[in-house]
Chains A and B, each alone.
Chain A
Amino acid sequence: MARHSTVTGGDDPVGSLLDLKLVFVTGKGGVGKTTVASALALFASLRGKRVLVCEVDAKGDVAGFYEAPPTGFNEREILPGLFAMTMDTEASLREYLKLQLHIPVVGRIGPLAKAFDFVATAAPGVREILTVGKLCYEVRERNYDLVVVDAPASGHIVGQLAAPQAINNLVKVGLIRSQTDWMLDILSDARATGLVAVCTPEEMPVNETIELAVRISEETTVQLAAVVVNRVLPELFGRQEEAVFDALASPGPLALLDELVDGDAAPVLDAARLAVTMRRTRSTHLDRLRQGIDPTVPMLYLPYLFTRSHGLRTTRQVAASLGEELGY
């Protein structure tokens, strides 16, 4: 694929992504957010780190990206050094009550679930805080070198990351207040926590990423650690070669080519034309992205994979590309 020079000097800002303790991976729906989160976690574990990957969307399928059976709230080691879990805010509440208040919640879950559902709807941010709280807890207890979160899509992530601050503003005293204080310490520490925005070089994902960057800096204390541009199409040929291509597609040479291949060469040339146009449209969006994002935020480019399958093999491929972009 076409290589883009990304590291803009400074003290190795790209490499520092793996030095973080807590990385939230977000992006507009359909851009490959879960792929990138899974690949990042895999890559870190291959580098010898003890990694937890946590999916926040219950419907997500992080385990599928490693071809492992579905995960639950209790983390499980699915590959050496790589643990996976699925966020469950109700389970998180139970764990919290047990650990913090020494209230063991045994017995029937039904009434608790109902009460919880109610409180979560009534007091905004409860669901969010239980998610962020559990993740920060894992970081604080140093159970892992790195926690990678397959976070909500970009439309939802700001609310999630802003929840501790929002709760902090609403709740003046009480246990929750002191809890949000230490969460905020972790979230605002740019050496510990970072957000990775995944994007494809298309109109809406680029718009959303630029918007997200603004909102993250205005509404949360979390730092944008990197933008991952996924599905970058290869550059087929340069300008001179394009002239050759155009000439090949003209009637005379095309007739000769048909004869040589003993068939209809036009579809093959049409496909190339399509690929060139696609790449061109995408590169204008890529330019917009570069202009819209703070130049100190590293951009990592991942190639379009011509498979569209997902599974461990694909995750490994993406992890390798990611590693390359991170300078390893």
Chain B
Amino acid sequence: MATRSGRRDRGDRAEGAPGPTGGAIAPAGRHGSMDGLLATKEIVVACGPGGVGKTTTAAAAAVMAAVRHGSKVLVLTVDPAKRLANALGLDGIGNTEHRVPGSAFRAAGLKPRGQLWAAMLDTKESWDALIRRHAPDRQTRDEILANPLYQNISGRFVQSHDYIAMERLYEIHSESDYDLIVVDTPPTRNALDFLDAPQRMADFFSSRLLRWLIVPYRSRLVNVATKPFYSIADRILGTEFLADISEFFILFQSMYDGFVERSDAVGRLLSDRRTTFVVVSTLEAVPLREAEFFAEQLTARRLHLGAIVLNKVLPDYLRGADGGVVAEAMKEQADRFASLLAPELAAADAAIGDPTQIARVLSEVADSYLNFQVVALREMEERSTLSVAPDVLATVPFFETDIFDLTGLVRLGEQIWG
């Protein structure tokens, strides 16, 4: 393991203690802060349902760690928005890690104490690299890379993303000297898929069926026990396709030991104490239930649930009981209020002194408040039912504008920093 120089200057701080700029009151922290969490872990896996700001949250956490800690931080993203990729200097770069230049930070008025690096996950490229690593010889390597089945698995079919993301994380963690790696997880059908991927990959390569399938064709015919299996498979898939599959797996078998060993190592890394999981969600019912389920599963698998980040939470002022009363009054008495307000407005500008128009604005504004209040109250209700207890529970307010640059990421980061 490389020297973790960035850690030293924080060595005297207890885990979970608020950072120098964390502020006295964490908005929703239970008994820890994101600052403390990121200072004590080496790998942070951001996960959760789709559409909740997972990628942005991962990037914000990494930026904050680079700015506030003297660490070398890597953010490994899967599918960043184009503008965010630009901000991280990732546009058109792909799989290799790149340092976000100091000039980008200076332009945002920031003086990072550490370094921020960024990389994007390219599934196909990562698979190819994996084959190159494990192939016993050049010929096998080239045959696999050219095999149509391999190309399908690596490029087209989705489960392979899950595995390769974790594999790449392992590779970077074991071979480079980052103090902290923040990894975004691929959008999966099931948020848990990527956790199971290393085990599934190992199971797959140890499968007895795999051995059946790659038995040379002739010996199949004499094996009474397996004959029915092959005759059905032949009828459905055709002999030629079966032969293609066999060839593919015979080639893959040469890499068997390497793969299984590697999958196990990836699995171990995820459950290591140095790794923590940050579940990102919004307070909408469906994503929140999914996030909660995920958090429960993490705990059940003895993985470390470090934090839950609740994004896009509507502002507090929408929940005040007074606000509702005021809005109701504004709506009911819009005409009366408008006639009283009209002279005042007309005094400033005659064009805006029309009572009818003022009344309409008042009632639109009041309606809008009441509408959003419904949503804001429901959000709080959802939050109060949250049944999991992470070390850190961070709430991030709704930002009116998109987050697409370092300034925006820091704005978001400060909210989750606690």
The stretch that binds A, out of B36-44, B101-109, B283-291, is B283-291
In the complex, what residues of A have CB within 8 A of residue B240's CB? 171-174
> A278-298: which have CB < 8 Å to B?
278, 281
> B129-176: which have CB < 8 Å to A?
148-149, 152-153, 156-159
Chain B: minimal CB distance from A251 (Å): 11
> A202-255: which have CB < 8 Å to B?
202-205, 207, 234, 236-237, 240-241, 243-245, 247-248, 250, 252-253
The answer to whether B361 touches A245 (Cβ under 8 A) is yes
The answer to whether B157 touches A306 (Cβ under 8 A) is no
| Most chain A beta-carbon contacts within 10 A, residue among B245, B284, B317, B401 | B317
Query: What is the total number of residues of chain A having a CB less than 8 Å from a CB of chain B?
Result: 79
The answer to whether B149 touches A271 (Cβ under 8 A) is no
The answer to whether A248 touches B345 (Cβ under 8 A) is yes
Beta-carbon contacts of B182-223 to A below 8 Å, as 1s and 0s?
Answer: 000011011000000000100010010110010000000000
The answer to whether B82 touches A207 (Cβ under 8 A) is yes
In the complex, what residues of B have CB within 8 A of residue A267's CB? 317-318, 320, 322-323, 326, 369
In the complex, what residues of B have CB within 8 A of residue A234's CB? 368
The answer to whether B402 touches A123 (Cβ under 8 A) is no
The stretch that binds B, out of A138-146, A154-162, A182-190, A318-326, is A154-162
The answer to whether A268 touches B369 (Cβ under 8 A) is yes
Chain B: minimal CB distance from A167 (Å): 9
CA distance A194 to B187 in the complex (A): 24
The answer to whether B317 touches A270 (Cβ under 8 A) is yes
The answer to whether A269 touches B238 (Cβ under 8 A) is no
Which one, B148, B329, B364, B371, contacts A237 given CB within 8 A? B364
Given contacts A263-B322, A310-B286, A115 and B209 within 8 Å (CB-CB): yes
Chain B: minimal CB distance from A65 (Å): 10
B256 at the interface (CB under 8 A from A): no
The answer to whether B237 touches A310 (Cβ under 8 A) is no
Chain A: minimal CB distance from B30 (Å): 25
* Total number of residue pairs linking A and B with CB closer than 8 Å: 240
Beta-carbon contacts of A103-142 to B below 8 Å, as 1s and 0s?
Answer: 1000000000011001101111100100000000000000
> A257-274: which have CB < 8 Å to B?
257, 260-265, 267-272, 274
In the complex, what residues of B have CB within 8 A of residue A248's CB? 341, 345, 358, 361-362, 365
A256 at the interface (CB under 8 A from B): yes
Chain A: minimal CB distance from B25 (Å): 21
Q: Which residue of B lies closest to A35 (CB)?
A: B286
In the complex, what residues of B have CB within 8 A of residue A307's CB? 374-375, 378
The stretch that binds A, out of B3-11, B14-22, B45-53, B68-76, is B45-53
The answer to whether A264 touches B326 (Cβ under 8 A) is yes
The answer to whether B149 touches A124 (Cβ under 8 A) is yes
Beta-carbon contacts of B356-367 to A below 8 Å, as 1s and 0s?
Answer: 011011101110
In the complex, what residues of B have CB within 8 A of residue A236's CB? 364-365, 368
The answer to whether A103 touches B232 (Cβ under 8 A) is yes
Query: What is the total number of residues of chain B having a CB less than 8 Å from a CB of chain A?
Result: 90
In the complex, what residues of B have CB within 8 A of residue A119's CB? 209, 233
Given contacts A156-B189, A243-B351, A267-B317, A122 and B210 within 8 Å (CB-CB): yes
A2 at the interface (CB under 8 A from B): no
CA distance A267 to B398 in the complex (A): 15
In the complex, what residues of B have CB within 8 A of residue A59's CB? 189-190, 290
A176 at the interface (CB under 8 A from B): yes
Given contacts A28-B51, A247-B345, A261-B330, A241 and B209 within 8 Å (CB-CB): no
Chain B: minimal CB distance from A307 (Å): 6
Q: Which residue of A lies closest to B50 (CB)?
A: A29
A277 at the interface (CB under 8 A from B): yes
In the complex, what residues of B have CB within 8 A of residue A173's CB? 238-240
CA distance A66 to B398 in the complex (A): 30
The answer to whether A174 touches B153 (Cβ under 8 A) is no
The answer to whether B375 touches A153 (Cβ under 8 A) is no
CA distance A264 to B190 in the complex (A): 46
A170 at the interface (CB under 8 A from B): yes
The answer to whether B317 touches A257 (Cβ under 8 A) is no
Which one, B81, B235, B378, B404, contacts A175 given CB within 8 A? B235
Chain A: minimal CB distance from B310 (Å): 14
> A43-61: which have CB < 8 Å to B?
57-59, 61
The answer to whether A308 touches B375 (Cβ under 8 A) is yes
In the complex, what residues of B have CB within 8 A of residue A148's CB? none
In the complex, what residues of A have CB within 8 A of residue B326's CB? 261, 263-265, 267-268
Chain B: minimal CB distance from A98 (Å): 13
In the complex, what residues of A have CB within 8 A of residue B153's CB? 124
> B328-366: which have CB < 8 Å to A?
329-330, 333, 337, 340-341, 344-345, 348-349, 351-352, 357-358, 360-362, 364-366
A177 at the interface (CB under 8 A from B): yes
A interface residues (Cβ-Cβ under 8 A, vs B): 28-31, 57-59, 61, 97, 101, 103, 114-115, 118-119, 121-125, 128, 152-153, 155-156, 159, 162, 166, 169-177, 202-205, 207, 234, 236-237, 240-241, 243-245, 247-248, 250, 252-253, 256-257, 260-265, 267-272, 274-275, 277-278, 281, 306-310
Could you pull out 21 A-B pairs where Cβ atoms are within 8 angstroms?
A: A29-B51, A122-B210, A123-B241, A156-B158, A159-B158, A173-B238, A202-B402, A203-B402, A237-B360, A240-B351, A244-B345, A244-B352, A244-B357, A248-B362, A252-B344, A260-B333, A263-B322, A268-B326, A268-B369, A272-B364, A308-B379
Known: A124-B153, A174-B236. 8 other contacts (CB 8 A): A30-B51, A57-B190, A118-B210, A174-B234, A174-B238, A248-B361, A274-B400, A307-B374
